[in-house]
Amino acid sequence: MKRCILILILFSVIVSQAQQLQTKFQPAPAWLKTAAFYQIYPQSFKDTDGDGIGDINGIISKLDYLKWLGIDAIWLNPCFESSFQDAGYDVTDFYRVAKRYGTNADLERLFKEAHKRKMRVCLDLVAGHTSIDHPWFKASQSAVRNEFSDRYIWTNDSTVKPLKHISGKFERNGTYRKNFFDCQPALNYGFANPEPNQPWQLPVTAEGPQKTRKELMKIMDFWMTMGCDGFRVDMAPSLIKNDPDRVETNKLWAEIRNHFQQRFPEGILIAEWGNPMRAIKAGFMMDFIIHLGNDGYSSLFFNKEGTYRHDTCYFNVEGNGTPTTFVNYYLEQLKRVGDSGYVCVPTANHDFQRPNCGTRNTDEQLRTVTAFLMTIPGVPLFYYGDEIGMKFIPGLPSKEGSQLTKGNRAGSRTPMQWDSSPNAGFSTASPDKFYLPIDSSAYRPNVESEMANPSSLLHFNRYLLQLRKQYPALGTRGAIRFLYAEANKYPLVYERSANGQRFVIVINPSGKSVQADCPFSGAVKEFKPVLVDRSSLLKVKDKLQIKADGVSYGIFQVVE
């Protein structure tokens, strides 16, 4: 009897602990369900003061364009004071806008102008580290203990240099932990499992780590009170060290989310995690399926040129890729995330190549990319310039930490192309002063020309965003069922459905004409073309017969 009671007690403790780990949060803001995002790399978007570097007033001047495109929310790469050894991801003052972008008042005006247009603005929050030039880090180097001695991760002996630790000439005896580049010392949020013989590994409950997390919430409160609508958090899972199961990491973000939503119920938290089901469990509302920690995104889009290079990918005219790596990962993520948060598969971002890269460089090819990305479940996101087909520029020199071991990110960070003038409408400065060289192609795409052409890629992408809002089945929460997604085969065919609506989408990125059959039950009067280029559907008994010319797509509404 006593043994049974003991077992019951142990079981109840285990259940209680498990329930504590599965934190329940207030729902994400309703507006996120229908939002379309646009990422802006501020130094390359629009320059208004003639110094060759984009600024906040430049962003304000283009809000009407973004509204016309169908954008509801903007994510800005870091715009805080910085040493700019890593393009703003090495912050020297979390409470001040970098002078090259403007002032705090300018950023506040951006918030207000965006809100007038019923748009939202999210900032990039570098939560895990600062610059080596940050006053906090300089103070932490002192041999005399002070407020910031434990706000960074220091060993207590300069001869001790664990992995990712940097030595130097410091007043204190020790080495510091970096978070990415050497110039980015890791802020101390504590260790989930400190090693007993390493007293410098402070637990998460220690005073220094606790002050660090409170400072992070203070920073967030500061900008949200000014009018910000949320944050994309850089390297979100990196804060707590030696936390293989992310137990303490999840607790940290749960605490932050609860604090955040109590004060700002319409604000959003977006992770750079690369694993939505883990990010959503931790407390984020949205995360990206990109190249981090999985091969899904890479297998679709990374070809032989770019920051990250693959010999084959699915979206390639050679037709030698496979969709299954992405499809399997994506479906698992959707299933595990459920209604608790949102998945986002972006067109690109500042860390890797654009869709227009290498041999994937025609309008027809780029339309297959966005026809796919804008018709799958998840929050849509255009990286600036992808809506007009700006290309990845190879061979550029390293700029502000753009060079990585595997490649150079500068090719995705070139100035936005607004018109056909010599400077593309980006800046009045001399081109030699530009943040990065502009695309030198004679027929480079630009907004002005594409807006004037109803059959342009820009209008095509605008229409895709309109379709998402018009038909819930094509939107963020509509269901998806892959009808034909076979290894090493084309085309890719899937069904979207919601509220009694059904659509079948056909995507053939290869240069070959293809045919495929797949099961498809139920009565169908017609497959009504909504947005179709050289593809067709025919239902014969309980099978769907698909034909698609090379580099083609089709969005068909099922009429029953």
Here the tokens at position 19 are 């329930």
Q: What is the pLDDT of residues 230-271, one digit of tens each?
A: 999 999 999 999 999 999 999 999 999 999 999 999 999 999
Average pLDDT on 356-369 reads 97
Strand order in the sheet with 268-271: 342-344, 286-288, 268-271, 230-233, 120-125, 73-76, 37-40, 381-383
Average pLDDT on 438-452 reads 96
Which alpha helices (DSSP H) does 361-422 contain, by range? 363-373
Decide if 558 contacts 506 (C-beta within 8 A). no
Amino acid identity, residue 537? L
Residue 386 reports pLDDT greater than 70:
yes
Residue 106 reports pLDDT greater than 70:
yes
Average pLDDT on 301-320 reads 95
**In which band, very low, low, confident or very high, does the pLDDT at 4 lie, cut at 50, 70 and 90?**
very low
CA 361 – CA 345 distance, rounded (Å): 20
Considering the chain, what percentage of its residues have pLDDT values greater than 70?
96
Q: What is the pLDDT of residue 522?
A: 84
CA 425 – CA 57 distance, rounded (Å): 14
**In which band, very low, low, confident or very high, does the pLDDT at 15 lie, cut at 50, 70 and 90?**
very low
Residue 19 reports pLDDT greater than 70:
no
Decide if 457 contacts 409 (C-beta within 8 A). no
Residue 12 reports pLDDT greater than 50:
no
Q: What is the pLDDT of residue 22?
A: 53
Closest CA to 361 of 383, 394, 323: 394
Count of C-beta atoms within a 10 Å radius of residue 293? 13
**In which band, very low, low, confident or very high, does the pLDDT at 284 lie, cut at 50, 70 and 90?**
very high
Average pLDDT on 333-338 reads 97
Calculate the average pLDDT of the chain.
Answer: 95
Residue 518 reports pLDDT greater than 60:
yes
More confident residue, 6 or 402: 402
More confident residue, 521 or 499: 499
Residue 18 reports pLDDT greater than 90:
no
Residue 521 reports pLDDT greater than 90:
no
Q: What is the pLDDT of residue 452?
A: 98
DSSP H or E stretch at residue 342 = strand 342-344
**In which band, very low, low, confident or very high, does the pLDDT at 45 lie, cut at 50, 70 and 90?**
very high
Residue 21 reports pLDDT greater than 70:
no
Q: What is the pLDDT of residue 523?
A: 86
Decide if 543 contacts 515 (C-beta within 8 A). no
Q: What is the pLDDT of residue 126?
A: 98
Q: What is the pLDDT of residue 13?
A: 37
**In which band, very low, low, confident or very high, does the pLDDT at 81 lie, cut at 50, 70 and 90?**
very high
Q: What is the pLDDT of residues 123-167, one digit of tens each?
A: 999 999 999 999 999 999 999 999 999 999 999 999 999 999 999
Q: What is the pLDDT of residues 458-501, one digit of tens each?
A: 999 999 999 999 999 999 999 999 999 999 999 999 999 999 99
Average pLDDT on 221-229 reads 98
Domains annotated for the chain, with CATH where assigned, are: 28-126+289-469 (3.20.20.80), 131-186 (3.90.400), 480-559 (2.60.40.1180)
Q: What is the pLDDT of residue 316?
A: 96
**In which band, very low, low, confident or very high, does the pLDDT at 402 lie, cut at 50, 70 and 90?**
very high
Q: What is the pLDDT of residue 317?
A: 97
CB crowding 229-239: b at 16 or more within 10 Å, else e: bbbbbbbbbbb
Residues 6+ apart with CB under 8 A from 454: none
